[in-house]
Structures are given as structure tokens and as C-alpha cells.
Amino acid sequence: MSSLYRSAISARIAKLPQLPPSYEDDDEKSEITDGIGELSTGMGPPPLPRPSTSTRKPKPPNPEFKPLSPASYFSQALQISLPTRALDVRVYYTPPKYDNGGVIVFHHGAGYAGTSFACLAKEISEVMRDNVGVLAFDARRHGKTTSSQSDEDLSINVLVDDFCALIQTIYPDVTAAPNLMLVGHSMGGSVCVRACPILQQCKYNIAGVAVLDVVEGTAVEALPHMHAILNSRPEGFDSVEEAIEWHVNTGLIHNPTSARVSIPSIVVPTDSPLTPSTRAHIGFKYKWRTPLRSTAPYWDSWFPSLSSLFLGLRSARLLVLAGAERLDTTLMVGQMQGKFWLEVMAGSGVGHLVHEDDPTKLAEILADFWRRNERIVVRGNVIKAVGEV
């Protein structure tokens, strides 16, 4: 691990909010962060003390963090059945203005939901003047997607198969399918990279793949820090407003507007059957929809070979990072060879959730990436747009 990256991680841990003492001990901890590379397969250090539910005073909702509906950011919210996957998938969609317009498909990171891309989707629609559609969805065991069978398995192959099944269900006729650009954040980036060649084998036209703030090398190097980060997460909240406020105040999301749209999808009432409740949830009204510690068995499958697979894609490639120091050796060599387009969104107001923190800038980057790599399909033939070389 580079000294710069180690220092960055250590500084981040030092700034994590500390929970009050005197918490009851329990068997399961819940948390929310995709934690770019901050993953570990061990049990880690003992959990931080948890405050007694008998003495904890409920916090009243802060009206400044009132939830916002995704209806103002997408034109449609759909539930799409995938019988072969036993899933009922929540999809957020704004179609292109014209029938032959392309569509940008977003895959969120672990613990988040399709609404994480709400502000970005709206910005893209405005920048592209609705000539390109935007589609986001909730992966299995996330958001408002439900399953008729056990949906515990979040291994990379399962997530890739889910993603491909969704695309094939939405666009069953390959010859009539729009040009697609795949955009994935963190874990979702790994899914998009692996799904691209599968969809291409099925004759879908993939104009490009964009990966947001995930690099294989630094992900592996940051493993020892994962539990220090996870142990700082609260078990639940007294209101959705409190969950939103916590994400903003801790700096996980720097954009309050985006948090007000995205966070309501990642918490559920404590009596919800979508995720098991534990003693730690007693006294709270809301808990995490996807407790990340419960996904630990699958962490090792998400990122291995990601850099080489990304560089080997037979489509345009874009990597957007929150910091340049996150490039690993494989990607540094690939960048010097001109194998992909790199954008670094460094700044005090941009963190791991680059698409939520600065959706305006990222929309401009993705729009430019789309224009550079747009393909026009005519009677099954792929023709380069005028001006490309």
C-alpha cells in the first residue's frame, strides 16, 4: 500500500464519528458504506460499545433533511419481474426523447440503491437534452427489489447474471435494443465490467463502460481497515431524516439534496421482513436495508482481476476516481498506454460517492464520453459517428 493511500485511510478512520459508551452486546452489526476497497473477510476487532436502549433518547426528525421523491428525477418507477432469477426488480427510468436514442444504465454499489443516481440522471437528461435515456435499478437484497426465494447470495457471478437478465428482459429484441452505456459505482463497476462481454456476445451494442471510484489494487490494500470503519456505523435510526442527516454530517455524502433522494431507499422500518432484525434494533424505528457485514462472504469475489478485465473490454473505457493516488500498477501502465480515459474528480466536496457529491460535473464527463463513443446502428451494422477516427 502506498504511504499516501495509507495516510488517507488512517485519516478517514480518525475522523469517523464515535458512538457513545454502554451499548448492549449483540451478534450482528449493521452498517452502510460501500467502502471502496475497505473490505475484510475476518471478524475484525470487537465492536464498539453500544448505548443502552433504555437510556437512549429518540431524536426528533430534522425538517432540513426531509426525504425527496425520485419522481422529480426519473419519469418512471417500475417493478420488473425476472422469473428466472426469482426477482422483482425496482427500476427507475427516463426514456430517450427519440426511439433510436441510446440509454445509460447505472449499477449502484453495495448497500446503496438506484436512487443513488437520481441527481446524476437528471443532470444527464438536461445536458443531453433527453436524447439519451437513463436507467437505474436496485440490485438483489437492495432498495425496493424483492425476491420470492432466498436472495442472500451477492457473489459477483450472481450479480452479473441478474444484471444481464434485467437487460435482456427490458430489451428482449436485440435488433431493436438501443445503444447502451454501462456505468457502475464501486461493486457495481465490477458487475458492469464483467457483464459487458456477456451482453456483447448476445449482440447488444455497448458504446462504453464507465467505472466510478473503484480500483482493484487499492481495494485489496485497504482490507485491514474495513472493520474499523464498519464498527462506527449506527445500528438504526429514529427516522429517515436522521439517516439522511447522519450521512451528510459524517461526510459520506457531501450533497444534501442527493442524500435526501437516495438514503430513503437504503433504510427500512425495523419490523420490515426484507432484512432480519436483531436486539441491536430495539428502540429504533429504522434499520439498514442491506447490512454490509452480512455480505462479507462475497467480498472476495467482487474485485479480483477487475483491472485486467477492465483494460481488456472491447468497448470504450472510462474510469472516474475521487483521487489519483488510487490507481494501481496495472491501471497506471494501462493509462500510459492510452487504454482508457481517466477523470479525477479531486476536491474537498467529492468523496467515494462521486455521482452523488458532484452530479453536475460527472454528467458533463459522461455526456462527453457518450458523444465520443456513440455508435449509430443501421440495419444491424455499426457505423462510427462522423468525426471519429
**d(C-alpha 191, C-alpha 33), whole Å:** 17
Grid cell at residue 189: 463497476
Amino acid, res. 26: D
Whether 315 is catalytic is no
**d(C-alpha 360, C-alpha 170), whole Å:** 28
> What's the distance, CA 356 to chain centroid?
10
Question: Strand pairing partners for 79?
Answer: 90
**Spatial CB neighbours of 207, under 8 Å, sequence gap ≥ 6:** 102, 179, 180, 181, 315, 316, 370, 373, 374, 375
Residue 72, judged by CB atoms within 10 A of its CB (0-12, 13-18, 19+), counts as exposed
**d(C-alpha 131, C-alpha 126), whole Å:** 9
Q: Which of 138, 161, 213, 357 is catalytic?
A: 213
Grid cell at residue 90: 425496482
Region of residue 86 (left: phi > 0; alpha: psi -120 to 50; beta: else)? left
Whether 355 is catalytic is no
Whether 72 is catalytic is no
Q: Which of 116, 186, 277, 315 is catalytic?
A: 186
Q: Which of 108, 254, 352, 355 is catalytic?
A: 352
Give catalytic residues, as residue numbers.
Answer: 186, 213, 352
